[in-house]
């Protein structure tokens, strides 16, 4: 079945969530506490059934991740005057977002701040916070541009995902 890269990413997210749900279910059904000698009603599914489904989902996650990574290496986006692989663009966006966070924190620093009791202390910024605030704003605009280019590829590129039939057919 052909689906867009964006759909495959959503499917991967669904599969990872389902994997987590199965792990949770496993630890809810792996034991039962009853008074000694009393009979009990076992859960609807056995540990083995849950483990079997979990193994299948995990196999599908690995297969889908591989397909996504291959696609992310095949397609490019224009960035900083050159075409870079989609995977590099994604990682670049992550780095830039982290840098924005750092710059924003630096930009919130007061140039001078006084505090203390008997002795007044002065904390002095060893840089210009306003410059970092401006740099964060500039980087924010750049990362939004990069993200929109990544999204364009994600929503236009189609890929063959054989396991998609199992999860996406209504």
Q: The tokens of 71 are what?
A: 């696609």
Q: Write out the chain's pLDDT in tens, 170 residues.
A: 999 999 999 999 999 999 999 999 999 999 999 999 999 999 999 999 999 999 999 999 999 999 999 999 999 999 999 999 999 999 999 999 999 999 999 999 999 998 888 888 999 999 999 999 999 999 999 999 999 999 999 999 999 999 999 998 75
Residue 104 half-sphere exposure toward CB, CA atoms < 13 A: 10
């Amino acid at each position: 079945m052909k689906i867009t890269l964006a759909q495959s990413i959503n499917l991967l997210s669904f599969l990872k969530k389902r994997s987590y749900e199965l792990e949770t279910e496993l630890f809810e059904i792996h034991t039962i506490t009853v008074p000694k000698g009393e009979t009990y009603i076992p859960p609807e599914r056995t540990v083995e059934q849950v483990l079997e489904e979990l193994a299948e989902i995990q196999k599908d996650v690995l297969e889908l991740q591989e397909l996504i990574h291959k696609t992310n290496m095949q397609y490019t986006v224009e960035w900083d005057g050159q075409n870079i692989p989609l995977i590099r663009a994604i990682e670049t966006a992550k780095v830039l977002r982290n840098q924005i966070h750092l710059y924003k924190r630096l930009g919130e620093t007061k140039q001078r701040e006084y505090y203390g009791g008997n002795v007044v202390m002065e904390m002095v910024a060893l840089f210009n916070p306003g410059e970092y605030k401006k740099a964060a704003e500039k980087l924010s605009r750049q990362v939004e541009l990069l993200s929109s280019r990544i999204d364009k590829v994600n929503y236009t590129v189609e890929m063959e995902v054989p396991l998609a039939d199992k999860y996406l057919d209504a």
